[in-house]
Chains A and B, each alone.
Chain A
Amino acid sequence: MTSATFNLKPQTSNILWRIVDLIVGGIFIYAGALKMFDPVRFASDIDNYKILPWTIGVALAFYVPWLEIFCGIALVLRFLYRGGLSILTALVLVFTLATVAAKVRGLDITCGCFGHASQHWSFPAHIATNLAILAALLALCFQAAAKRKAAH
């Protein structure tokens, strides 16, 4: 799975992957910033999933947005890159599972992922967006792993 297989110059392949880094990192910086400005709203969004006790939800409402911002920056700057990638992948996995669980339990939630900007989205749109982001993250993970293998 190297760029040579597709007759692409290594530079072009690198640039394309960097673009994916920037897009995904940018999405998380944006999503994190939206939530960071209104932690009270985010805390009540988390509470709507009825998975965590209120106090923990509040603590997460203050912490998670910053985690997203810092990890998004890690992706953009390629600094602490793999750490950022793993944390973000774990976050999206958890968000997706929580969304599915809420739907199964018949809860009426606003995702809270993009703050109240996403409140008008339907369930399929939410899941599709989460899966798309997850796919991008996993692709970046595999690419990073492949690069490390090639370097060794």
Chain B
Amino acid sequence: MRAQIFVFALSIVICAKAQAELKWEQTTIELHPTPADKQAIGHFKYQNTGDKSVHFKSVRTSCGCTAAQTQKDEVPPGDKGEITATFNIGDRTGTQVKTVTVETDDPASTTSVLTLKAVIPQQLAITPTFVFWQQGEAPNRKTIGVSAAKDFPVKHLKVASSSPDFEAKVSEAGNGQFKISVQPKDTKQPIAATLTIQPEGSPKTFYATARVTTAPAINSR
């Protein structure tokens, strides 16, 4: 019986609240930037529901591409605020997950991990983004597949080659699928071209690279 009381008492101790307490409205924010956005910004709101001030000791992000800022270092009881996390999208694709680690002097939660999830819309999926021929290889056509995402219907695709040494032609396979056929004029010299892929009506430009690579040296294994 004594043991039962002990267990019960222990559970009360665990439940007792600490004096200061920083409560986050959300610790995970999912963002859906548009193709035109260069940044995705998450506002992590908090409130000090305790009766003692909470101080921010450090705010660190998981990568250099995300900057996080607090408006103030000290949060008096009852006060609200936010940590703004700015994620520079750059040329990233897909679902990017970046975290912000916040350290405070709040004994109930000294370290909080805020998660920013940015789902970057992918208008076109280009496979592969690089085609090459080795010097001396037969200059046969190689194909690059382009697939438009379901929520970004593309009617036409314009492809331009940066060099006359490579010819690029587009054919439509229907249903948002395209094929880009690439061919070098010859593979005698190492040449290169950047293919600019422009979906009709979209401000965003996509790229692929075509090259003739140098032949391996005779003595290399």
List the interface of chain A (C-beta within 8 A of B).
Answer: 1-3, 5-6, 8, 13, 16-17, 20, 119-125, 128-129, 131-132, 135-136, 139, 142-143
Closest Cβ neighbor of B24 among chain A residues: A120
List the interface of chain B (C-beta within 8 A of A).
Answer: 1-4, 6-7, 10-11, 13-14, 27, 107-113
Instruction: State whether B2 touches A135 (Cβ < 8 A).
Output: no
By a CB distance below 8 angstroms, the chain B residues around A13 are 1
Instruction: State whether A122 touches B109 (Cβ < 8 A).
Output: yes
A131 to B11 Cα, complex, angstroms: 10
A152 to B28 Cα, complex, angstroms: 57
By a CB distance below 8 angstroms, the chain B residues around A3 are 1
A17 to B13 Cα, complex, angstroms: 20
B14 contacts which of A119, A120, A128, A139 (Cβ < 8 Å)?
A: A128
A6 to B4 Cα, complex, angstroms: 12
Contact flag A139-B108 (CB < 8 Å), given A8-B1, A13-B1:
no
Question: Is the contact region of chain A dominated by helix, strand, or loop, or is it mixed?
Answer: helix
Instruction: State whether A1 touches B14 (Cβ < 8 A).
Output: no
Instruction: State whether A122 touches B108 (Cβ < 8 A).
Output: yes
A139 contacts which of B3, B13, B111 (Cβ < 8 Å)?
A: B3
B3 contacts which of A124, A132, A142 (Cβ < 8 Å)?
A: A142
A20 contacts which of B2, B7, B107, B111 (Cβ < 8 Å)?
A: B7
Closest Cβ neighbor of A138 among chain B residues: B3
Task: Looking at the assembled complex, report how far the CB atom of A110 sits from the nearest CB atom of chain B, in whole angstroms.
Answer: 8
By a CB distance below 8 angstroms, the chain B residues around A8 are 1
